[in-house]
Amino acid sequence: MKEKLLEMRKAFYKALEEVLTPAELDELRIYYLGKSGALKEILKQMGGLRKEDRPVMGELANELRDSMGEAMASKLKEFERMLLEKKIEEEKIDITLPGEKISMGRVHPTTKTIRELIDVFVRMGFSLEDGPEVESVYNNFDALNSPKDHPSRGLSDTFYFDASRVLRTHTSPVQIRTMKKMQPPIRMISVGRCFRNDEIDATHSPMFYQMEGLVVDEGISMADLKGTLEEFVRQLFGEETRSLFRPHNFPFTEPSAEVDITCFKCHGEGCRFCSGTGYIEILGCGMVHPSVLEECGIDSEKYTGFAFGMGLDRITMMRYEIDDIRYLYENDKRFLDQFRR
**Which residues of the shown chain bind ligand DAH in the complex (CB under 6 A)?**
170, 172, 212, 250, 253, 284-286, 307-309
Residue 1, classified by CB atoms within 10 Å of its CB into exposed (0-12), middle (13-18) or buried (19+), is middle
For residue 296, the Cα-to-chain-centroid distance in whole angstroms is: 38
Q: φ, ψ for residue 40 (rounded to 5)?
A: -60, -40
Could you tell me the smallest distance in angstroms from the CB atom of residue 281 to ligand DAH? 11
Q: Minimum Å distance from CB 322 to ligand DAH? A: 21
If you ran DSSP here, which 8-state letter would residue 49 be given?
Answer: S
- 186-195 and 127-129 strand pairing: parallel
Euclidean distance between CA atoms 62 and 5, whole angstroms? 11
In contact, 16 and 72? CB cutoff 8 Å = yes
CA quadruple 237, 243, 248, 253: dihedral positive or negative? positive
Least distance from ligand DAH to the Cβ atom of residue 286, Å: 4
The residue (of 80 and 130) whose beta carbon lies closer to ligand DAH is 130
Q: Which residues are CB-contacts of 70 (< 8 A; sequence separation ≥ 6)?
A: none
Alpha helix segments (H runs only) across the chain: 2-18, 22-33, 38-43, 54-90, 109-123, 137-140, 173-181, 222-237, 290-295, 312-320, 333-336
CA-to-CA dists, residue 124 to 38, 120, 223, 229, 336, angstroms = 100, 7, 16, 11, 31
Q: Which residue is nearest to ligand DAH (CB)?
A: 309
Q: Would you say 248 and 226 are in contact if contact means Cβ atoms under 8 Å apart?
A: no
Shortest Cβ 224–ligand DAH spacing (Å): 13
For the bound state, the minimum distance from the C-beta of residue 139 to ligand DAH, rounded and expressed in Å, comes to 12
Instruction: Return d(Cα 121, Cα 211) in angstroms, integer.
Output: 11
To the nearest whole angstrom, how small is the minimum distance from the Cβ of residue 175 to ligand DAH? 6
C-beta closer to ligand DAH: residue 259 or 328:
259
Least distance (Å) from ligand DAH to the CB of residue 100? 46
Q: Which is nearer to ligand DAH, 5 or 169 (CB)?
A: 169
Pick between residue 181 and residue 272 the one whose CB is nearest to ligand DAH. 181
C-alpha 273/C-alpha 153 separation (Å) is: 31
Minimum CB–partner distance for residue 335 and ligand DAH (Å):
26
Sheet holding 127-129, edge to edge: 127-129, 186-195, 207-217, 304-311, 279-288, 253-262, 243-250
The terminus-to-terminus CA distance of the chain in angstroms comes to: 95
Nearer to ligand DAH, 170 or 187 (CB): 170
Task: Please state the closest distance from residue 299 (CB atom) to ligand DAH, in A.
Answer: 20
